[in-house]
Amino acid sequence: MNYLLLDWFFTLLHLIIIGFNLLGWIWQSTRKLHLMVVALTLGCWLILGIWYGLGYCPITDWQWQIKEKLGEVNLPNSFIKYYADKISGQDISSLFIDIVTGVSFALAVILTIYMNFIKRKHI
């Protein structure tokens, strides 16, 4: 099995999901799907988080298994932390990453609720 290809696949999948979670509320044609994806993300973070830790992401779990097979060690809990560190060349605080992630996600949740339920009634 080509683990490098799987690692690239999971990276691309992560980036698509993160981008869609943050921006999918913008376009009317994707708002219902965005609401579902945000709910699924929140469910993983909170419900699966009961057993695996708050903020648990199965995609990160699967990707980290691949990265370990590729020889990477000491992987952080967060995909966003991993790539923020990798891109910046710094060891960015996990707390800072978690706060930025949480606030950004909360804003996306508020916006998707507004666009799907409140604004829709006024159109």
d(CA 12, CA 27): 21
Read off the pTM: 0.92
> Could you give the C-alpha distances from 68 to 3, 4, 60, 123, in angstroms and in order?
10, 11, 12, 50
Average pLDDT, the chain: 95
What are the tens digits of pLDDT across the range 21-64? 999 999 999 999 999 999 999 999 999 999 999 999 999 999 99
- 119 versus 40: which is more confidently predicted? 40
Give the pLDDT confidence score for residue 122 in this predicted structure. Answer: 60
Is the model's pLDDT at 65 over the cut of 70? yes
Average pLDDT over every residue of 72-94: 97
Average pLDDT over residues 55-80: 97
